[in-house]
Chains A and B, each alone.
Chain A
Amino acid sequence: AQSVAQPEDQVNVAEGNPLTVKCTYSVSGNPYLFWYVQYPNRGLQFLLKYITGDNLVKGSYGFEAEFNKSQTSFHLKKPSALVSDSALYFCAVRDLTGGGNKLTFGTGTQLKVEL
């Protein structure tokens, strides 16, 4: 079965510093990986995805993610964090069983950016 793990429940970073939110995956076959962000009382907003090609994927709001096949990781990064980036971040993998159209999500990482 496809799965992702987010090892950190919470990440704290100072505004202006780089941020990393970690995600590792376990899949059979090619991985299709996604990052979403969730603000309080709102749904999930798509940030970026890795399908194939370049290992560095650029997404919305200045976020990027680095796909590393040897480490089975897909960490989310941003060079300079903003207080407004504070939110809950979810990594997800496309589950290719049963038609391949469902996402399996991690448990989420709460990002807190402080002044």
Chain B
Amino acid sequence: GAGVSQTPSNKVTEKGKYVELRCDPISGHTALYWYRQSLGQGPEFLIYFQGTGAADDSGLPNDRFFAVRPEGSVSTLKIQRTERGDSAVYLCASSLGTGLTDTQYFGPGTRLTVL
């Protein structure tokens, strides 16, 4: 079946601009996660949703970052007033539920470059 999809695959923007990154989870998965992977690092947690609500947003670096999942499926990560330090690969994952044994399956990522 279809995996997690993310669009766009690449996004180049200028400092100060607004960007939106989209994630389409595996069908039927109730939990959705956003991670950020900087060059040479492992992914770092940003936020996760259980259904429509953000259950844990402790990883968002500041208030320029915001994410929504209005219908409990597709999610959008929004970054305002982008900075060069926001350049990274943004990964989305989904899992069937939020049990401790549930596995997170990742999408291919969106590579964001802020000039």
Residues of A within 8 A of B (CB): 32, 34, 36, 41-46, 49, 51, 90, 92, 94-95, 98-108
Q: Tally inter-chain residue pairs, CB-CB below 8 A.
A: 68
Closest A residue by C-beta to B55: A99
- How far apart sit A115 and B41, CA to CA, in the bound complex (Å)? 28
Pick out which of these stretches binds chain A: B60-68, B71-79, B98-106.
B98-106
Complex Cα gap A46–B107 (Å): 11
> How far does the alpha carbon of A51 sit from the alpha carbon of B101 in the complex, in Å?
6
Q: Is B42 an interface residue (CB 8 A)?
A: yes
- The size class of the interface chain B forms with chain A is 20 to 34
Residue in A closest to B42 when the chains form the complex, CB atoms: A105
B residues with CB within 8 A of A: 4, 6, 31, 33, 35, 40-45, 48, 50, 55-56, 58-59, 91, 93, 95, 98, 100-101, 103-109
Separation in Å of the B67 CB from the closest CB of chain A? Answer: 14
In the complex, chain A residues whose CB is within 8 Å of the CB of B40: 107-108
Give bound CA distance, A34 to B95, whole Å.
Answer: 14
Query: Quick one: given A51-B100, A101-B31, A102-B48, are A36 and B58 in contact (CB under 8 Å)?
Result: no
**Nearest chain-B residue to A34 (Cβ)?**
B103
24 A-B pairs within 8 Å (CB atoms) are namely A34-B103, A42-B109, A43-B106, A44-B43, A46-B104, A49-B101, A51-B100, A90-B42, A92-B42, A98-B58, A99-B48, A99-B56, A99-B98, A100-B98, A101-B48, A101-B50, A101-B95, A102-B56, A103-B43, A103-B45, A103-B104, A105-B43, A107-B40, A108-B41
